[in-house]
Structure 1
Amino acid sequence: MTTTTDQALNRIRPDVRAMHAYVVQPAEGMLKMDAMENPFTLPPELQRALGERLGALALNRYPGARSDDLKAALAQYADMPAGCSMALGNGSDELIGLVTQACAQPWDAAAKRPVVLAPMPGFVMYAVSAQLLGLEFVGVPLTADFELDVPAMLATIADYRPALTHIAYPNNPTATLWNEAAVQAVVDAVGAQGGIVLIDEAYQPFASRSWIDRMRAEPERNAHVLLMRTLSKFGLAGVRLGYLMGPAVLVAEVDKLRPPYNVSVLNCEAALFALEHADVFAAQAAELRAQRDPLVTRLRALPGVERVWDSEANMVLVRVQDAAKTFAGMRERKVLIKNVSTMHPLLAQCLRLTVGTADENACMLAALQASL
C-alpha cells in the first residue's frame, strides 16, 4: 500500500534520494587523526576570557554590525589586496555552494549547461555542490604523482569552457601544493574563456606560499580569481567560519546569495577573539609544521608503507598494501584515520593521516606499524 510518506518521497529529486549523507566517523574513546583538526586547545586563561565574552552576548538579538568588525579583522590578518572585498560563510562549504549557485545559469550551446571543473582527486564538496545545483561536474585526473596535469587541464578548459574551476592550494586529500607556474597556466586559461577560478586555501597555515601574493602582485591577471580560506585549520574547526576574498564586484554578486545572519554572534565573537590572539594559533601551526617532517621520515621507514607523499598541509597521504585491512587494524587499536582508497582510482590503497602532536604521532605510528 502506498502511504502519504511514499508519495512525499516521490517529490524528492531522484539524484538526492540516491545520494549518501556525509558521514562523520564515531570517535568516542579514539585518537582522532582523520579530520585534520588542530589538536591544541586554548590555554585555560584564554578559555576563561572567551567564556566571559560569549556569556555577555545578546543571544536574543540577530547578528548585527559585529560581522563587519570580523571582516575588517580578517582582512587585516590576511593582508587582503587592494580592490578586494570579503564575504563570510558558515564554514567554507557554504561558500563553495554560494559561488557555485552564482554560476548556475544557462550557458552556451556547446556546453549545454554550466560546467564546474576541478582536478581530481580533490575535495568532495566541489562535485556535490555542482550536482545539487544541476551543473555538470568535470574532474580532470592528476598525474600519478598527484601533480597538476597541465596539458589535460588546458584541453578540458578549452573543450568545456567551465563557468567555475576549483583549485585547492594545497590539495585535499593529497596534501600537495602545486607548482605556481602550473596553477598560473590554469588560471590564465580559465580567464581567457571568461570563467571564474575559486582557489581553496583551507590549509594555508601549513603551506609555504599563498596565491594571495599573486593576486596582490598581478591584480589584472587575477581579476577573475576568488580566494577562499577557513578558520577550521587555523584552530577553530568547531566555530564553522569561512571567508572569501576577491575583486569587489565578484564578491558582491556572491554575497547576494548569502542567507541572512548566516554567521552567528557566537561564531563571530569567537573568531574575533581568536584573531586577537593570533600569535597563539600561529605557534600551534608552527609546532604542527615542525612535527610533520619527522612524521614523514618515520612513515617512509616503516616496512609495508609503499609510498609517502610530501605534505604542505597538516595531513600526510600514504599508500599501503591493503588499506582496508590497515584501517581496520588501526581502528581496533583505537586510532581513527581516513581510508581514502575508494574515493578515486589514483588513491588506490591510500590512507590519509592527520599531523598531530609528538605524542599523538607516536601513538599513530605504533598503531600503523602493528596494523600493516
Structure 2
Amino acid sequence: MSNQLEKLAKLPLRDNLRGIEPYGAPQLDVAVLLNVNENTHPLPEAVRQAIADDVADAATGLNRYPDREFTELRERLAAYLGHGLRPENLWAANGSNEVLQQILQAFGGPGRTVMSFPPTYSMYPLLASGTDTTYIAGERSEDFQLTAASAARQVTSAAPNIVILCSPNNPTGTALGLDVVEAVYEAGRASNSIVIVDEAYAEFALAGTESALTLIPGRERLIVTRTMSKAFALAGARLGYLAAAPEIADALRLVRLPYHLSAVTQATANAALKHVDALLATVEDIKGQRDRIVAELKRLGLTPAVSDSNFVFFGGLEHSGHVWQGLLDAGVLVRDVGIPGHLRVTAGTEAETTAFLEALEALVGGTARPAPGLEG
C-alpha cells in the first residue's frame, strides 16, 4: 500500500485531493451483512421478471443512445412522489451520490463553499473535494441533534453557497423537523444558498414524520434528493433522483454527461416503479425489525438513537472496536462509523436481526455503559 501511495504522490494530482482516502465500507464475505444500509430482502420474483423483461426489450435498441431526458422515468417518479410534483420537477442520475455531485458541479466549485453538519454522511466532504468546493463542517449538540436556531445561526455566519441537511441523518438515523429546513432556507436567503435535504431513507420514517417535499412550492433554492437503493431494494441498479423547481434541472443539464442514464438503467427503474406496492411491502417488515433492535438494545443497557431509517445508531459501548470485531468473528458485519463508543447496524430480515442480537448479547451482556441523550 505504501508503495502505491508513493506512486500516487508522484502524479500531478490536484492539491485538494492529496491525502484524501476514497469512500469505501468494508466488503467482506460474511454470512450477515448489516453495514451499508442496504435493503437485505431480495426482490420479489414478479419484480425480477418485470425488470428482466423490460431490460430485454431495451437491449434491442442498445445500438442507439437512450432518451437523454429519461421522460418516462421522470413521469413515473413524479407520480410516485405526489405532492403536486410534475415531471419537470424531477431529475435523476446514477445514484443519489451522482445527483449530489451534479448539484455541486453546478452550484459549487472553486471559490465556493458547501456546509453540512457532522456526524453525517461521509460522502459530503468527498464530493466537495471532487468538485473543488470548500467544505465547511457545522456543529451539532453533544447528543447529535440539530435545532432550527443553531442551524440557522451557523448558516448565517458561514454564508455557504450550498447547505446539505441529511434527514433522516446518516449515521444517527434521526429525521430533522421541517422547522430546521425552513430556518436554514431563510438563513441562506442573504447568501442565495442552495439547500439540499438528503432524504435517502425517507420511506422508513416514523409515523408523523413529514418530508421536505412539502416545502418545495415557492422555494426555488430547495432541493430534496431521494434514492431507489434503500426502500426499493435496488442498490445495485444505481438510481437516485431529486425534486425541485424546474430551473434546478435546467442547471444540472449544463453539467451532466451526455446520455448519463443508460437505457438499461432507465428500463430497470421504470419496471420497478410499475411495481411500487410489491417493492415497498418489505418496508414495514424492516421498520418492525428496526424497532425490535431498538427495544433489545435498550434491554442490554445500550443507548440507541431515535431511528427514522432502516438502521440503528447506538452507543454505550466501552470498546466499540472490540465489539465490532467480535460481531465480525460471529459472522455479522456492522458499521464502525468512527465515533467512540458507538456502532451502526442495518435492520435486516428477521433471521439476520436475530443473528445480530444474539451475537451482540453474547459480547456485551449486562456490561454496557450508559450514554445519556441518545435514547429512542
C-alpha distance in 2 between matches for 1:262 and 1:297: 44
Runs of 4+, deviation exceeding 4 Å: 5-8
**Alignment-derived partner of residue 209 in structure 1:** 210
C-alpha distance in 1 between matches for 2:333 and 2:69: 38
**Counterpart residue type for residue 300 of structure 1:** K
- Contact (CA 8 Å) 1:115, 1:164: kept in 2 or not? yes
Cα RMSD for the two superposed structures: 2.1
**Counterpart residue type for residue 103 of structure 1:** F
Q: CA deviation at 1:277?
A: 0.5
**Alignment-derived partner of residue 165 in structure 2:** 167
Residue aligned with 2:30, SS: coil
Q: CA deviation at 1:43?
A: 2.6
C-alpha distance in 2 between matches for 1:24 and 1:223: 35
Residue aligned with 2:164, SS: strand
CA shift in 2, pair 1:300/1:245, >3 Å: same
Q: 1:90 aligns with which of 73, 87, 94?
A: 94
CA shift in 2, pair 1:68/1:18, >3 Å: same
Q: 2:311 aligns with which of 301, 312, 315?
A: 315
C-alpha distance in 1 between matches for 2:85 and 2:262: 28
CA shift in 2, pair 1:34/1:146, >3 Å: same
Q: CA deviation at 1:155?
A: 2.8
Residue aligned with 1:317, SS: strand
Residue aligned with 1:73, SS: helix
- The answer to whether the aligner puts 1:62 opposite 2:65 as a matched pair is yes
Residue by residue over 1:102-143, the C-alpha shift from the partner in whole angstroms, topping out at 9 and shown as x without a partner, is 12356xxxxxx3111111111112111112222221111211
**Alignment-derived partner of residue 200 in structure 1:** 198
- Contact (CA 8 Å) 1:96, 1:125: kept in 2 or not? no
**Counterpart residue type for residue 198 of structure 1:** I
For these two proteins, the number of residue pairs brought into alignment is 351
- Contact (CA 8 Å) 1:228, 1:244: kept in 2 or not? yes
Aligned 1:69-108 pairs, distance under 5 A: 69-79=72-82, 81-82=84-85, 85-104=89-108
Q: CA deviation at 1:6?
A: 5.7
Larger CA deviation: 65-74 vs 5-14: 5-14
- Contact (CA 8 Å) 1:309, 1:318: kept in 2 or not? yes
What percent identity do the matched residue pairs reach?
29
Superposition TM-score, scaled by structure 1 size: 0.88
Q: 2:340 aligns with which of 348, 356, 361?
A: 348
- Contact (CA 8 Å) 1:81, 1:212: kept in 2 or not? no
Structure 1: stretches of 5+ with no match in the other structure: 107-112
Structure 2: stretches of 5+ with no match in the other structure: 1-5, 365-376
CA shift in 2, pair 1:13/1:193, >3 Å: closer
Residue aligned with 1:120, SS: coil
**Alignment-derived partner of residue 153 in structure 2:** 155
C-alpha distance in 2 between matches for 1:12 and 1:80: 45
Residue aligned with 2:226, SS: strand
C-alpha distance in 2 between matches for 1:163 and 1:32: 37
CA shift in 2, pair 1:205/1:7, >3 Å: closer
Q: CA deviation at 1:8?
A: 9.1
Residue by residue over 1:305-354, the C-alpha shift from the partner in whole angstroms, topping out at 9 and shown as x without a partner, is 2x1111000010011111100000000011000001x2xxxx32210000
- The answer to whether the aligner puts 1:339 opposite 2:344 as a matched pair is no
- The answer to whether the aligner puts 1:28 opposite 2:29 as a matched pair is yes
Q: 2:225 aligns with which of 212, 228, 241?
A: 228
- Contact (CA 8 Å) 2:120, 2:169: kept in 1 or not? yes
Residue aligned with 1:236, SS: coil
- Contact (CA 8 Å) 1:198, 1:227: kept in 2 or not? yes
Residue aligned with 1:260, SS: coil
**Alignment-derived partner of residue 110 in structure 1:** none
C-alpha distance in 1 between matches for 2:169 and 2:322: 26
Residue aligned with 1:287, SS: helix
Larger CA deviation: 40-49 vs 129-138: 40-49
Q: CA deviation at 1:365?
A: 0.5
Q: CA deviation at 1:50?
A: 2.5
C-alpha distance in 1 between matches for 2:313 and 2:354: 17
C-alpha distance in 1 between matches for 2:267 and 2:67: 11
Q: 1:187 aligns with which of 177, 185, 188?
A: 185
Q: 1:368 aligns with which of 348, 360, 364?
A: 360
**Alignment-derived partner of residue 18 in structure 1:** 19
- The answer to whether the aligner puts 1:287 opposite 2:285 as a matched pair is yes
